Structure 1
Amino acid sequence: MALAAEVLAAAVQILLGSPAGLLLLLTGLVQGAGAEAVFAATGWRNYRLPVLMAAGAGAAVFSFAYTWVRFDYGALEPAILVVMFTLRLASGALLGGLLGHLIVQALYKTGTLAGLGIDRDRQAPLD
């Protein structure tokens, strides 16, 4: 699902006129693959906050590796790379993991998710 969500987000950015154009689809695939790698490690059975934050960080790691090659990050100063990587990890974990979790929790409280698969998964006993 993370892969599909990232590609869809990239497609929307393209439709909204991003100057990056179709390369955004590749970026979406890379970011989605990073998140899916974390979910795969849990057997797609654990969607608790630490895993969600790790998935956001995973998307950041994969994205950083891709942009390292694409934009020749090796030519940058090591201190700049450390700051870039740290900020990307933090934003992936906080925006992709924590913020997403908080939004879903708020939706649970409204009843908007009642009866959907995500709500049934939340109510199911853990293995």
Structure 2
Amino acid sequence: MLQLTGVISDRGSKYAVSGGVARDRAAVDAFLKELKREKKFAKATHNTWAMLDAEGTALKSDDGEAGAGMVIVRMLERADLREHVIVVTRWFGGKHLGGDRFRHVQDCVSAYIEALDGA
């Protein structure tokens, strides 16, 4: 599991990004369960995630952050990163971010892919 915390802080909201190998939905569920063993992730407002299977079929969850899962899917497609789940976690800070939240999801995924490439 690769985890980057404190990636973005904006108007009180904080973001982190995590990911790892996942070949199917069962693996995604196991990954999320492991992630949420850490209390701070279990208490997060949103744990949005997406993955592409070996054939390129997308699985995703917005976890209440409408549209965020598709942002992750598009970035996975551009990077051609398959059989890998990426989770963007947000702790809501009390102020709505509007469209900036999508940019923050993109920035988190970009930071994750860069860290993965550098590993």
For normalisation by structure 1, the TM-score amounts to 0.35
Q: RCO greater where, 1 or 2, for CA within 8 Å and sep 6 or more?
A: 2
Q: Give the helix-richer structure, 1 or 2.
A: 1
- Higher strand share goes to which structure? 2
If you compute each CA radius of gyration, which structure gives the higher value, 1 or 2?
1
Q: TM-score, normalised by structure 2?
A: 0.37
